[in-house]
């Protein structure tokens, strides 16, 4: 297994190149190391290599790692979140990437004792297996969130289809960017919506070219 440090160097260079191609500042892109497949030791290696942001998609695994790592990393919850699990993780996480329904918003609002930065998860590709709201439901959904004062919509998140076709991936990311711009332009006080969480091991360079501000990388950074 290659060191996280050497993987990180390669990924950082590729992100810099993608930014250069489209005239973006690489500083705008934050790497989240998705540690869901790996040990606590490997997560610690990532932190030593300079990673600050960690992503987990299951409450139990997040709690296990949190017990050891505490709030040294910035924690991102990136997986499907069951409403009844909210109270277990709400004091541990810094960002939730998978807000996709009102009942979940209500529970986060109720259990949190501070504003929680959330991404609305969007199913851009329309694949049935994917979670998230269809694009046309995103704005009406966000408009219903004004009353939940512990929720701040910082941006939108998507998972692209698991394919190689670059044009399909690009279109998917571009649609999300367009939607994010539209919502940002509304200047809703509780939904600044300036961020885009998109791009994984297979497609982060395209995502960065299309405007990603958070990329979520597991396999090619820390391993599977």
Which residues sit at the interface with ligand PLP, rule CB under 6 A? 34, 36, 57, 78-79, 159, 200-202, 216-219
In this chain, which residue has its C-beta nearest to ligand PLP?
218
Shortest Cβ 189–ligand PLP spacing (Å): 28
Shortest Cβ 204–ligand PLP spacing (Å): 8
> Can you count the helices (H) and strands (E) in the chain?
9, 8
Shortest Cβ 37–ligand PLP spacing (Å): 7
Interatomic CA distance for residues 19 and 36, integer angstroms? 27
Interatomic CA distance for residues 54 and 75, integer angstroms? 5
**Phi, psi dihedrals of residue 26, rounded to the nearest 5°:** -55, -25
Packing angle of the helix pair 166-185, 135-143 (nearest 10 deg)? 20
Give 86 or 200: the residue with its C-beta nearer to ligand PLP. Answer: 200
Give 52 or 147: the residue with its C-beta nearer to ligand PLP. Answer: 52
Give 179 or 207: the residue with its C-beta nearer to ligand PLP. Answer: 207
Residues near 108 by beta carbon (within 8 Å), at least 6 away in sequence: 86, 90, 96, 99, 116, 118, 148, 150, 151
Shortest Cβ 218–ligand PLP spacing (Å): 3
8 A C-beta contact, residue 87 and residue 111: yes
Shortest Cβ 183–ligand PLP spacing (Å): 20
Give 6 or 144: the residue with its C-beta nearer to ligand PLP. Answer: 6
Give 24 or 216: the residue with its C-beta nearer to ligand PLP. Answer: 216
């Amino acid at each position: 297994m290659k060191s996280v440090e050497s993987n990180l160097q390669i990924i950082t260079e590729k992100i810099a190149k993608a930014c250069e191609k489209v005239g973006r500042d690489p500083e705008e892109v934050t790497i989240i190391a998705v540690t869901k497949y790996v040990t606590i030791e490997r997560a610690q290696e990532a932190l030593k290599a300079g990673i600050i942001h960690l992503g987990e998609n299951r409450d139990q695994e997040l709690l296990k790692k949190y017990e050891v790592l505490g709030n040294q990393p910035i924690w991102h919850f990136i997986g499907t979140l069951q409403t009844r699990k909210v109270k277990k993780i709400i004091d541990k996480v810094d960002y939730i990437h998978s807000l996709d329904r009102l009942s979940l918003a209500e529970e986060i609002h109720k259990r949190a004792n501070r504003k929680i930065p959330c991404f609305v998860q969007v199913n851009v590709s329309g694949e049935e297996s994917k979670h998230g709201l269809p694009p046309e439901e995103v704005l009406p959904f966000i408009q219903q969130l004004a009353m939940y004062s512990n929720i701040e919509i910082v941006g939108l998140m998507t998972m692209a289809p698991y394919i190689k076709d670059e044009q399909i991936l690009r279109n998917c990311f571009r649609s999300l960017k367009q939607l994010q711009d539209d919502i940002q332009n509304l200047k809703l006080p509780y939904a600044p919506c300036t961020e885009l969480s998109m791009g994984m091991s297979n497609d982060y360079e395209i995502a960065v070219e299309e405007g990603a501000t958070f990329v979520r990388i597991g396999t090619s950074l820390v391993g599977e």
